[in-house]
Chain A
Amino acid sequence: MHSFWEAFAGSFGLVLALDPDLMEIIVLSMQVTLTAVFLACLIGLPLGAATALYRFPGRTLVSVTLNALMGLPPVVVGLFVYLLLSASGPLGPLRLLYTPTAMIIAQMIIVTPIVAALTRQVAEDLNREYAEQFASLGVGPIDRMVSILWDARYGLLTVALAGFGRAVAEVGAVIIVGGNINHVTRVMTTTIALETSKGNLQLALALGLVLLLIAFTVNACVMALRSTAARSAYA
């Protein structure tokens, strides 16, 4: 218990000291995760909405697949991306292995199904409300998707945050494709894994608390943005 409370104190010490190595690691973590979540939204939002709004053959299969892929083990995604990007793999010539880009690709694969599956649910609920109106106004398929996504935007922010939470906490995939290289691909989660393996449990726990603090900050910012925007929109 003693070391548990020391870790709390230690984590605040680390942040307050603005340790440059730690800052570098935090910045890279955010760059990788935010980019991955942004790209996942770019794909996942329209994909999820399309699955909810349009009738097409295999629609149920797509829904079930998206839901199932939410449970993708990160290590498996890491291996898949490693084999893809390895010098002996099909995309080897791009020389992306052991770079932040490889980590972004891996996290994007993990997060996209989450964004798509949750978006499908949100869009389906809203569509039930709007379907008659759409039909009576003769709204085209693209416009339907745009208005559903737009009107569901606050709910979809939470969807994006769910994706962010999964990506920022993930270690299995990024440690394989990033290699946990100091000053190049070392992020919060891989640092925690490294410190644990060095037996520096207190430091590892302190870093975990820092990560939690960052996630809290990001969530608070998004929620603040959301309520500000909502107020302006309805004022």
Chain B
Amino acid sequence: MIRNFLPAALLMALLNAIAATPVLSDEQFIIVQSTTSTQNSGLFDEILPEFTEATGIEVRVVAVGTGQAIRNATNGDGDVLLVHSRPAEEKFVSDGFGVSRSDVMYNDFVIVGPPSDPAGIAGSTDAVAALKRIAQTGSPFASRGDDSGTHKAEMRLWQDAGIDAIDASGGWYRETGSGMGATLNTGTGMGAYVLTDRATWIAFGNKADHRIVVEGDPKLFNQYGVILVSPEKHPHVKTEQGQQFIDWLLSGNGQKAIADFKVDGQQLFYPNAKGEDS
């Protein structure tokens, strides 16, 4: 009896595990490849249940950087793409991987920094001038360095400032190669300036003494777009349910759900759907 007990127990454990593993049969769900800012801020937790209740479609969100999200969608590992880097999104559509792109909502980027403000940029509304000051004073700056939407936006700003930040990498310019949250943890830890989207910053729980030092520059505008992955490249894409999700996001109900989402009384995303544009 004892001889057979252990194998029997292990077998039972396995059978239990298999029996309890969710079976993916005719359950209605779509996979959305999206960015960490939308997930970490809590937006999806707030608005998705409303959509699921209305349609019975479950939305499974894979939250990675914009670069990785686009690559995953290019491989066909998702039905809908919701990211924030317009040039990369337009390329995704023109390469035939996406059906079309629509504006969904926007927020803005801000530069956060330590209270000591070594570059003396607090209160500035000129992001490019602020970055120039950071470079001149050699103040620590923590960059995502991960090909995400935020990283791409940061690189465009350095380019506008005429500064080759990569050249200073390892010195005052520090590439974390990580997500927004990890980079903010690093930045607050080392007293560095960080470019972040406002939503992640407001919802972030480890601000330490860091505060927003630069905001309000039109160049810091951060547009989110939604794209249905093309069934022509990947026939298994759930076009109908994916389109239903996109239609809802762009509808009055979806746009209102986005506007109603607040953290600490602050609105994090501003809906601005205006129909398809490419």
Q: Spell out A's residues near B (CB within 8 Å).
A: 27, 30-32, 34-35, 38-39, 41, 86-89, 92, 95, 97-101, 153, 179-182, 184, 194, 196-201, 225, 229, 232-233
Contacts and interface: CB of A to CB of B under 8 A. Distances in A.
B182 A197 contact: yes
Contact of A27 (B5, B20, B236): B20
B31 interface: yes
A182 B40 contact: no
Nearest to A200: B205
Given A197-B40, A201-B206, A88 B21 contact: no
A38 B60 contact: no
A180 B62 contact: yes
B36 A201 contact: no
Contacts of A201: 185, 205-206
A34 B15 CA distance: 11
Contact of B77 (A38, A97, A153, A180): A97
Interface string B1-31: 0100110011001101110111010000001
A31 B20 CA distance: 8
A178 to B, nearest CB: 9
A92 B17 CA distance: 23
A232 B22 contact: no
Interface residues of B, number: 40
B192 interface: no
A119 B104 CA distance: 56
Nearest to B20: A31
Given A181-B60, A199-B181, A229-B5, A98 B10 contact: no
Q: Is chain A's interface secondary structure helix, strand, loop, or mixed overall?
A: helix
A87 B20 contact: no
Contacts of B206: 199-201
A179 B16 CA distance: 23
B184 interface: yes
Contacts of A182: 45, 60-61
Contacts of B81: none
B179 A197 contact: yes
Interface centre among A34, A92, A101, A197 (most CB of B within 10 A): A197
Contacts of A198: 40, 181, 203-205
Contacts of B14: 34-35, 38-39
B75 interface: yes
B75 A87 contact: yes
A88 B75 contact: yes
B234 interface: yes
A32 B266 CA distance: 39
Contacts of A229: 2, 5-6
A197 B36 contact: yes
A99 B24 contact: yes
Given A87-B236, A100-B22, A199-B207, A180 B60 contact: no
Interface in B171-187: 179-182, 184-185
B76 interface: yes
Interface string B184-209: 11000000000000000001111100
Interface in B50-67: 60-63
A179 B17 contact: no
Contact of A87 (B24, B40, B76, B185): B76
Q: Quick one: which of B9, B17, B36, B204 has the most chain A CB within 10 A? A: B17
Q: Which 3 A-B pairs rank lowest in CB-CB distance, beginning with the nearest?
A: A197-B181, A87-B76, A199-B206
A183 to B, nearest CB: 8
A181 B33 CA distance: 11
Contacts of A41: 10
29 contacts: A30-B17, A31-B20, A31-B21, A35-B17, A38-B10, A38-B17, A39-B14, A41-B10, A86-B75, A88-B76, A89-B75, A95-B236, A99-B22, A180-B62, A180-B63, A181-B60, A182-B45, A194-B40, A196-B181, A197-B180, A197-B185, A198-B40, A198-B181, A199-B181, A199-B205, A199-B206, A201-B205, A225-B6, A233-B2
Contacts of B234: 87-88
Interface string B205-223: 1110000000000000000
